Amino acid sequence: MLWDVFCQVIDNFGDIGVCWRLSCDLGSRGHDVRLWVDDASALAWMAPSSTSQPGVSVHAWADATRPETVPEPGDVVIEAFGCNPPEAFVARMQRPAPPRWVNLEYLSAESYVERSHGLASPVWSGPGQGLVKRFFYPGFTPRTGGLLREPGLLARQSAFASQPSARREWLAAHGITPRADERLISLFCYGSAPVPALLEQLTESEQPVRVLLTPGHATRLARDWLQARSGVHLGSLALSELPALPQTEFDTLLWCCDLNLVRGEDSAVRALWAGRPHVWQIYEQDDGVHADKLEAFMARWMAGWPTCVREPVAAWWRAWNRLGTEADSALPPLPDWQSGQSPWALASVAARQELAAQDDLATQLKQFVASSG
265 is catalytic: yes
User: Known catalytic residue: 15?
Assistant: yes
Report the distance separating Cα 147 and Cα 83, nearest Å.
20
- Set 15, 79, 105, 251: catalytic member: 15
CA 47/CA 266 separation, integer angstroms: 14
In contact, 256 and 238? CB cutoff 8 Å: no
Q: How far apart are CA 265 and CA 293, in angstroms?
A: 12
The residue among 71, 78, 63 whose CA lies nearest residue 7 is 78
Of 265, 266, 326, 360, the catalytic one is 265
State the amino acid at position 265 in one-letter form: E
Cα distance between residue 63 and residue 358, in whole Å: 37
Quick check: 77 and 83 in contact, CB under 8 A?
Answer: no
CA distance 80 to 152: 25
Contact 223, 249 (CB under 8 A): no
* Residues recognised as catalytic: 15, 265
